[in-house]
Amino acid sequence: MKPFASSSAQASTTFSGVFSRLECELNQFHSATQTPKARAAALATVDQDIDAAKRLILSILTRRNMLIPISILPAEILARIFHFSVAGASFLRSNRPGWVSVTHVCRRWRQIALDDSTLWTRFSTSPRSRDWIAERLSRARNAPLIIEVDAMMRKDTISLFTPHISHTRELYLHNITSIHFSAIMQEISTQKAPALEHLELRVSNASPIKHLAGHSFFNGPLPKLRILCVSNILFPWSFVPHGRLTQLKVTLNEEALTSEPEVSPHNNLDQLVDLLVNCPALELLTLKNCLPATLSASSGGQTIHLPLLSRLCLGGSSSRVTNLLKMLKLSSSTTLRLDCKPEFVATPNKHVLLPVLSSHFNDPTPIEFRSFKINLDYINCMIDIVASSSLPTSPIPHAHDIQADMDGDAELGLSLSFLRVRDPDDLMDAIVRRAFEVLPLSKLQFLSILSPITIRPVNWGEVFRPCTEVTTVQLYGHGTTGLLEPLTPPQRSHGKGRKRRLGDNGRGTRKNKNDSVSAPVDALIFPKLKSLLLETLDFSDVMPNSGVLFDLVLGVVKRRKAIKTPVTTLCIDHCMISAEEAGKLEKVVPDFQWDHDEGEDEDDEDDYDYDGFDHDSDDYSDDFGYF
């Protein structure tokens, strides 16, 4: 520290000398500036002194900065800190790269930032100035680039990146119009991209566009490409590089109804099979509305092994999804997200999707589902199913959050759409019944049903009777109240004077409103039921055989308690129920949870118009099942 102290003392002496000299010269200032020439010379001398003083002050400030603890950090540590600032700015998507302010702190910081080319490699839609982009490209030198472009960036600005494609590691073209996409691809398709690892191409047009440039996305192979995401672009499957891909995502807004490859190059199944067979490292695979229409003779019976695949998302016509799923050989732990749409042309065979799923989850290691959610959407003619081997983490999960479950870690997310049929209740009942027959649900503990409306009560008791391990049932919407009656233990006769319970025909069965299917009254479903979660119900609704809904719920709780299979938790959320009724339920349930919302007296705004289900219309078809 002695040399530094000596240097500081010397600087202080020098600074004092400057002031002494200035003090002396000021005394002679008036006498020496009587003529214009003398004043000009004096002014020049003063300017020189000012510059010298500024340099001296800067030197002293630099020495002061060197005494701050952070200045002791090695350059590598400071550069690492700067990288965290860059990552934070990228995460926030700020309009200005605020992290650049670190280059204005001191000379050392600025020099460290300029020397590290990797700090300048990320380009998003935020910096739109051509000069700023050119300067950053210069600072990045030959480091691998990350370039993100969308429709907001001008074409002449985008062209700045073209010469740097050869050392681009990640390239994102988002929300590009068809005109801009063609112009951009004509430029970059002439470039080589040997360093590219991640490529995303997304066109914002409503209808898919064709990519016609050359025989690939770039002029040459992509040896390092691991992730490829293409949205709303028609291209041959042969464009996709084989071998090293770990993630492949191809999606279209609409499915081509024709099977002609000339119309949609995605319809070449042989190319798709060849691609998947030669990408055994795939971990994530998403193919939506781009599946081939028919199986070819050469590839129809082929098995595609994807041993590392952890997540599979397929979307499109039910037959196309089923056909490809049958060809794939996956681990039973692979999570499935299947979005099946109805066929718009007659198909010769019934769909066999659910048995295919059964085979998948049982081979080679069986998966036991513990959580099962069903959303019966009569208005949009679809049914959503989510099945998971784990229980919900939230103590009171909301039934309407089923889409969040679709995007979560559940092993199965299945969405089945269908054309309007003559009797949607029969179709819904058949799908759910078939699902419970073929899926591994013997260990099911959590069951959630969402059904805002129903046209005819479904015999839920018979469907769910095999599920003896269920401990929690969640019901959301008016269409789910039909499950409450099977939850109620039957009243047994004691002595000759007892009257038969209303609806009991004396033969151990109770008929429902439509005298359709009868269920034995002496068999209790869900014998281990502990928690009942009710959402969006009207407790004044009149039930077919049990009076109002409140009486039915109260009967469920009291009778299960009487036979020592009590419901210990009752949650009521967003329901129409009076405080008096809630108080009566609270007295008989140990853990009673209510949001204290008594509902509205006016008509429920979620009521639906049933006219969409015209049973007398001849426009419906009964040939669109998914089971």
Q: Mean pLDDT across the stretch 191-202?
A: 94
Per cent of the chain over pLDDT 70 is: 74
Q: What is the pLDDT of residues 267-316, one digit of tens each?
A: 888 889 999 999 999 999 999 999 988 655 445 567 899 999 999 999 99
Q: What is the pLDDT of residues 24-51, one digit of tens each?
A: 666 666 565 667 877 788 788 888 888 8
pLDDT at 97: 55
Neighbouring C-alpha atoms within 13 Å toward the C-beta of 441 = 26
pLDDT at 165: 93
Q: Mean pLDDT across the stretch 127-151?
A: 86
pLDDT of 55 > 70? The answer is yes
pLDDT at 206: 77
The span from the CA of 370 to the CA of 368, in Å, is: 6
The answer to whether the beta carbons of residues 475 and 535 sit under 8 Å apart is: yes
pLDDT at 12: 55
Q: Mean pLDDT across the stretch 441-451?
A: 91
The span from the CA of 220 to the CA of 197, in Å, is: 14
Q: Mean pLDDT across the stretch 221-230?
A: 94
**Considering only CA atoms, which of 446, 441, 401 is closest in space to residue 569?**
446
pLDDT at 425: 62
pLDDT at 46: 81
Q: Mean pLDDT across the stretch 195-215?
A: 83
Residue 175 binned pLDDT confidence (cut-offs 50, 70, 90):
confident
**Considering only CA atoms, which of 328, 467, 333, 305 is closest in space to residue 389?**
333
| Cα distances (angstroms) measured from residue 187 to each of 160, 175, 202, 249, 353 | 11, 18, 17, 24, 44
**Higher-confidence position of 261 and 195:** 195
Name the phi and psi angles at 360, rounded to 5: -65, -45
pLDDT of 92 > 60? The answer is no
Q: Mean pLDDT across the stretch 472-494?
A: 82
| Beta carbons within 8 Å of 411's beta carbon, 6+ residues apart | 333, 335, 336, 361, 367, 369, 387, 388, 389
Q: What is the pLDDT of residues 344-395, one digit of tens each?
A: 544 444 557 888 888 888 877 788 999 999 998 878 888 899 999 998 876 5
Q: Name the token pair of 61.
A: 């400030």
pLDDT at 420: 62
Overall pTM > 0.85: no
Q: What is the pLDDT of residues 395-409, one digit of tens each?
A: 566 666 666 666 678
Q: What is the pLDDT of residues 429-440, one digit of tens each?
A: 778 888 888 888
Residue 508 binned pLDDT confidence (cut-offs 50, 70, 90):
very low
The span from the CA of 550 to the CA of 540, in Å, is: 7
Q: Mean pLDDT across the stretch 81-104?
A: 71
Residue 115 binned pLDDT confidence (cut-offs 50, 70, 90):
very high
Please state the domain extents for the chain.
2-67, 74-120, 357-491+514-600
The span from the CA of 119 to the CA of 585, in Å, is: 63
The span from the CA of 348 to the CA of 85, in Å, is: 60
Mean pLDDT of the chain: 79
pLDDT at 567: 94
pLDDT of 605 > 70? The answer is no
User: Which of 349-363, 588-602, 608-622 has the lowest average pLDDT?
Assistant: 608-622
